[in-house]
Structure 1
């Protein structure tokens, strides 16, 4: 009898995200995300899958339209419609805004995909630092 080897399933890349500790105080940035590309349709599902359950179902996402690739006005992620908005505001060009009705808004720093790991790690750590630890 021969034994057939099971083909290895492609592994999902590790989500590169750091979130700030929960606190009662509002924060300007709730953490950092380091996507592998600016293709929102490819990157958004893994981001949403890695968010804390306490954040609820994200229904709206806003990104900088000057940097992210074109995307439709909405997409289906895990059987949930997520509305996609593209802002051109220069006030926060490297952020992604996530909204959940009745639960809140979360702003994540977006570390550019082509950033070297040596430079990305300190950026992510600083964005996820506790509010009292920020200088």
Structure 2
């Protein structure tokens, strides 16, 4: 699934709340975890890059997988400085974010914004969870979020996988009219 490209910046928006981070290194090459408040990169990345800039040097670039980000900006503004945003579907895990600065590269696990506070706290604390399990947990949370969106948008249970014959009138195989 690709994202929509957005050429706007976050410079006109109200300041973002502080980033929710855990900078505890974890197996699998993770340098920490990030729990954004939404899937809006233009809103979320400035607080993340600002928080990390003091620790890791000025962040100059970020790479994401577009699978879970509906809008992909080319860049965002961090205190008047440009942070370039790139994306890859082949090299970037959908549950990771890679940050770049002149001093190095860092990989963060992205905890889905829809995650409840208790589950996010457990993931960020580690609680004996290794990196692959954290990514699997993030995938399960995303799957539940998609199911919840289906229910909220008017779905009733799971959608029927039976095709409806072309030109038919009347109830669909799932018993609903379309």
| Aligned alpha-carbon RMSD (Å) | 2.6
Alpha-carbon distance in structure 1 between the residues aligned to 2:15 and 2:105:
31
Alpha-carbon distance in structure 1 between the residues aligned to 2:19 and 2:74:
24
Q: Which residue in the other structure is 2:118 paired with?
A: 118
Alpha-carbon distance in structure 1 between the residues aligned to 2:53 and 2:98:
15
Q: Which residue in the other structure is 1:106 paired with?
A: 106
Between 1 and 2, higher relative CO (CA 8 Å, sep ≥ 6) is seen in 1
Q: Tell me if the contact between 2:21 and 2:35 (Cα under 8 Å) persists in the aligned partners.
A: yes
Query: For this pair of structures, how many residues does the alignment match?
Result: 114
The question of 1:13 aligning with 2:14 is answered no
1:35-46 correspondence to structure 2 within 5 Å: 35-46=36-47
Q: Which residue in the other structure is 1:6 paired with?
A: none
Q: Tell me if the contact between 2:46 and 2:77 (Cα under 8 Å) persists in the aligned partners.
A: no
SS at 2:99's partner residue?
strand
The answer to which structure has the higher strand fraction is 1
Q: Tell me if the contact between 2:34 and 2:110 (Cα under 8 Å) persists in the aligned partners.
A: yes
The answer to which structure has the higher helix fraction is 2
Compute the displacement of 1:40 (Å): 0.2
Alpha-carbon distance in structure 1 between the residues aligned to 2:20 and 2:78:
19
SS at 1:76's partner residue?
strand
Alpha-carbon distance in structure 2 between the residues aligned to 1:15 and 1:91:
21
Q: Which residue in the other structure is 2:32 paired with?
A: 31
Q: Deviations over 1:75-107 (max 9, x none)?
A: 322121111012213762111100012x10011
Runs of 4+ aligned structure 1 residues displaced above 3 Å come to: 10-14
Q: Which residue in the other structure is 1:79 paired with?
A: 80
Compute the displacement of 1:13 (Å): 3.4
Unaligned runs of 5+ in 2: 1-13, 130-178
Larger-gyration structure (1/2):
2
Question: What's the TM-score, normalizing by structure 2?
Answer: 0.57
Unaligned runs of 5+ in 1: 1-9, 130-135
